[in-house]
Amino acid sequence: MVFKSGHAADNLAAEVGRLRASRVMVIAAECESETAKKVSTGFDVALHYSDVSPHVPIAKAKAARAIASEYDIDLLVCIGGGSTTGLAKAIAMTTAIVAVPTTYAGSEGTNVWGLTANSRKLTGVDNRVLPVTVIYDAELTLSLPVQLSVASGLNALAHCVDSMWAPRADPINQAFASEGIRALASGLQAVVSDPAGIGGRERALYGAYLSAVAFASAGSGMHHKICHVLGGAYGMPHAQTHATVLPHVLAFNAQHAPEAEIRIAAAFGADSAVEGLDRLCSALGAPSALKEYGFDEAAIPEAARLILPAIPESNPHVVTIDDLERLLRAVWSGRPVEG
């Protein structure tokens, strides 16, 4: 990991040289094209690629793999958020990745891949998709609007919270998650109060990296299983969905996981985990209702049926179909969080 604001181009050129890459494919969405060109000026680029979509539809993954093979690519450089990193991971079974994040998604720090096929999000773990280098530069996040910064940062914070009771949770990844919560809470509030400031964005990037390490180690918990279904089956926006679902899952689980609840509350500096997250979301003006993003209330029973089989046995509290329907109705409406 390389972490230095204002030096992404120099650091990226140095990594391309260190890896002795001669056929580099730079992946960046159209909205990041100028940033990508600026950051990749220090080396020869064989191919600029911009056909990026949320949740990595499998057809787009296959097309990107084919063109990478056609150009004999020996290094992928992904510049952008989680969708861009996700596409690089879909190609990376035989090609190394250097990731340059411009959001707080955290995908660059995990060996988890995700693809969407037939309205279902498929995920897996493979060390070949883990970037060999991650280049963090907070200046590259300055163009990320405040509300997208908030949603992206809360997505990272959801990695931390889920890591407290995921299938492989242990005191080490819980420690990473606790520090990630502290850094993200502080950093995101600074971003909201001073969007042009670098300090808050650096803390948010630091927290996002810790969240990714914790998540990769602990595995995927109840929160992520819900969000994978909502994203894959109903096309919900990734970051906003995570931000909206998180308070409800925390309220559902916290009372049944007292040790984790104490850790989360302490990280927020609050009397309880739910209070701490609620206070943060209020301060940030966080997304609160999925109906605002096009989720149809009539889809809730089907969504609950799709989610239930994916809930890990490690979840602190047994989950029923009725629990999921109540939770999803609260997520849809944005009504106050209930235990």
Evaluate whether residue 235 is within a structural domain: yes
Q: Is 276 found in the same domain as 305?
A: yes
Kindly give the parts of the chain with pLDDT less than 50.
Answer: none
Rounded to 5°, the CA angle 59-51-120 comes to 35
Comparing CA positions, the residue from 119, 112, 118, 121 lying closest to residue 92 is: 112
The verdict on 117 and 151 lying in the same domain is no
- The structure tokens 């670098």 sit at 198
In a domain, 227, yes or no: yes
- 117 with 161, same domain: the answer is no
Residue at which a domain ends, from 116, 141, 166:
141
In a domain, 61, yes or no: yes
Q: What is the pTM of this model?
A: 0.85
Q: What is the number of domains present in the chain?
A: 2
Residues 212 and 63 in one domain: no
The CATH code of the domain that includes 51 is 3.40.50.1970
Co-location of 248 and 135 in the same domain: no
Count other Cβ atoms within 10 Å, centred on residue 143: 12
Q: Convert the pLDDT of each residue in 276-301 to its tens digit.
A: 999 999 999 999 999 999 999 999 99
* pLDDT value, residue 337: 65
Give the CATH number for residue 326: 1.20.1090.10
Q: Which domain does 22 fall in, by range? A: 2-141
Q: Which of 100, 119, 141 is the last residue of a domain?
A: 141
Would you say residue 338 lies in a domain? Answer: no
Which pLDDT belongs to residue 116?
76
Sign (positive/negative) of CA torsion 156, 159, 162, 163?
negative
My answer on whether 176 and 64 are in the same domain is no
Considering the domain boundaries, does residue 210 fall inside one? yes
Question: Which of the listed residues 141, 169, 198 is the one where a domain comes to its end?
Answer: 141
Residues 172 and 110 placed together within one structural domain of the fold = no
**Domain membership flag for residue 27:** yes
Q: Taking Cα atoms as reference points, which of 195, 226, 208 lies closest to residue 157?
A: 208
Residues 130 and 64 in one domain: yes
| pLDDT number for residue 112 | 77
Q: Which spans in 194-299 are helix H? A: 198-218, 222-234, 238-254, 258-268, 273-284
Q: Which of 322, 149, 328, 90 is nearest to 223 (CA)?
A: 328
Task: Dump the DSSP string for 11-49.
Answer: HHHHHHHHTT-SSEEEE--GGGHHHHHHHTTTS--SEEE
Residue 115 counted as domain residue? yes
Q: Are residues 185 and 116 in the same domain?
A: no
Residues 217 and 304 in one domain: yes
Same domain, 112 and 161: no
Query: Do 49 and 33 form a contact (C-beta atoms < 8 A)?
Result: no
In a domain, 194, yes or no: yes
Residue 207 and residue 135 share a domain:
no
